[in-house]
Structure 1
């Protein structure tokens, strides 16, 4: 299983890019899973559903299963947020895992940058940035880059810089 991240400030276009990258990589015969970091309180369950009621009653884990999918929800109940290595270890084997977020972690990443956001570039401060996807040419860097609207070019960067996840996890 290989690993690469997409890192950038909010509004840079990480999710939009990822949605365009997945089918591009699939056409190349690469199976993809994603791992997304949410910066806010989120919920995949809704009030009124049995599984929501189970969690509200205090269940630490609720596994919901059907003929089409299954999902395991774990309540941290004040415990520490799991780190990237722990979360990766919970995924089933696949060709490539693309991590969205976790920009401060040490995995190799493609920086996603949109000039209109007015945010600083990540690559000058992050040695784990391996390539750049941006709507403008990055200033003063030898890092390879592809235009933000070039999904095939960015897929090339992803394939070039993805690393063995087990080796990265140590």
Structure 2
């Protein structure tokens, strides 16, 4: 499975870049799935809905299915968070999986960076970051793209993964 990550600190532009990359790469005829890491508790279900009631009653997994989509919710109930490799094994085959977050994992990545956030670059200390997409010009030992140059960033990623 071909993987490429988008990492960066909060408000660096990761999600916007991910969204634009998915649109650009799928527009070229490739299939793309995404994985998003959250550092906080989140819920995709709401109180009162049947699936919420099933989870709240103690179900370990709740599969919600319709003719338009399938959602599988799994409750860890105190178990360790699964590693990225285990999560990737649950995905259906696609041309490319784009991963938002998981900055400490070993897959290749592009760092989204906005100097106005006041956060330092991650890239200088991380060889898995193969390029930086920045809102301001930078001089680094690896490619630097304009954060909004989605076409060039997509070209770079697709070349890196051999697509």
Query: Does 114-123 or 152-161 show the bigger shift?
Result: 152-161
Does the CA-based 8 Å contact 1:115-1:135 persist in structure 2?
yes
| Structure 1 segment 106-117 matched on structure 2, within 5 A | 106-117=106-117
Alpha-carbon distance, 1:19 to partner: 1.1
Q: Distance in 2 between matches of 1:113 and 1:162?
A: 22
Q: How many residues align?
A: 163
Change (3 A) 1:42 1:163: farther
The list of structure 1 runs, each at least 4 consecutive aligned residues, that deviate by more than 6 angstroms after superposition, is: none
Q: Does 1:40 align with 2:40?
A: yes
Does the CA-based 8 Å contact 1:55-1:61 persist in structure 2?
yes
Alpha-carbon distance, 1:94 to partner: 0.4
Q: Distance in 1 between matches of 2:117 and 2:46?
A: 33
For residues 43-101 of structure 1, the C-alpha deviation after alignment (integer angstroms, 9 at most, x for no partner) is 11110011100110100000010011011100000000011100111000000000000
Paired position in structure 2 for 1:161: 160
Alpha-carbon distance, 1:163 to partner: 7.2
Partner SS, residue 18 of structure 2: helix
Give the gaps of 5 or more residues in structure 1: 165-170
Q: Distance in 2 between matches of 1:53 and 1:128?
A: 42
Alpha-carbon distance, 1:160 to partner: 2.3
What's the TM-score, normalizing by structure 1? 0.92
Q: Distance in 1 between matches of 2:17 and 2:157?
A: 12
Does the CA-based 8 Å contact 1:108-1:163 persist in structure 2?
no
Does the CA-based 8 Å contact 1:3-1:163 persist in structure 2?
no
Alpha-carbon distance, 1:39 to partner: 1.0
Paired position in structure 2 for 1:167: none
Q: Distance in 1 between matches of 2:129 and 2:159?
A: 13
What's the TM-score, normalizing by structure 2? 0.96
